[in-house]
């Protein structure tokens, strides 16, 4: 009996040590996973793009079939800005132009085959208040991307092209949000926002 008790007593520290090590490894793996997600740009829903914008309700004037319209509404919602379906219910009106897509040959092989394409995406917008006073002058966000082309894998390259256009659309919308952020008013100013108009600018990015 005494021998059994001693054996059980000896096992308990080992069991506790194994449990401690298992929990430590699990915690370490969790921390590593969070670091990897953070390094990949992952953010919790609602935290994307920064904090809330202190702006009144916005009416977006755009073609209802404009793909950028859905992306812009979603991003505004994430930043706490309400969008309305009628201009009469808004205090700010954002005019969103149709997105423009262009593709041109960037390089060819010695045999004359296309090796690389360059894509260009443009999105025009402007902002004014309900009285027609400009708050952001008409401006165009332009971005470019390039990708290698293979005529033996047309389907995959077509999908890659569409993925690049979607990526540029999201970045263009984020740039519009940043322009709106410069007009974000404080709660004290909310009754009579003194928004500043901005000069017409065009921005573009080249892949690194």
Domain ranges of the chain: 1-42, 58-203
* Closest among 25, 15, 71 to 48, alpha carbons compared: 71
- What's the rounded Cα separation, in Å, for the pair 35 and 132? 47
Task: Please give the sequence-ordered ranges of beta strands (E in DSSP) within 80-133, or none if there are none.
Answer: 83-84, 92-96, 100-108, 114-129
pLDDT digits (tens, 9 = 90+) for 165-183: 999 999 999 999 999 998 8
- What's the rounded Cα separation, in Å, for the pair 24 and 120? 49
Mean pLDDT, range 150-172, rounded to an integer? 95
More confident: 3 or 82: 82
Q: Please determine, for residue 156, whether its predicted confidence score (pLDDT) is greater than 70.
A: yes
R_g of the chain, CA atoms, integer Å:
27
Global pTM value? 0.65
Give me the long-range contacts of 31-37 (CB less than 8 A, separation at least 24). Answer: none
Does 3.30.160.150 match the CATH number of domain 58-203? yes
């Amino acid at each position: 009996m005494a021998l059994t008790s001693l054996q059980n007593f000896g096992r308990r520290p080992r069991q506790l040590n194994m449990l401690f090590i298992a929990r430590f490894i699990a915690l370490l793996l969790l921390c590593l996973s969070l670091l990897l997600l953070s390094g990949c740009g992952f953010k919790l829903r609602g935290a994307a793009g920064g904090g809330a914008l202190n702006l009144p309700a916005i009416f977006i004037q755009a073609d209802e079939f404009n793909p950028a319209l859905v992306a812009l509404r979603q991003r505004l919602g994430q930043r706490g800005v309400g969008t309305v379906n009628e201009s009469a219910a808004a205090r700010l009106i954002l005019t969103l132009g149709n997105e423009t897509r262009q593709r041109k040959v960037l390089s060819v092989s010695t045999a004359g085959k296309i090796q690389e394409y360059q894509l260009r995406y443009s999105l025009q917008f402007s902002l004014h208040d309900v009285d027609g006073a400009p708050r952001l002058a008409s401006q165009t966000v332009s971005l470019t991307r390039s990708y290698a082309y293979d005529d033996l894998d047309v389907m995959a390259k077509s999908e890659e092209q569409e993925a690049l256009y979607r990526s540029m659309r999201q970045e263009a919308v984020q740039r519009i949000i940043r322009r709106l952020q410069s007009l974000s008013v404080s709660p004290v100013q909310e009754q009579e926002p003194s928004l500043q108009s901005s000069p017409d600018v065009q921005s573009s990015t080249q892949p690194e």
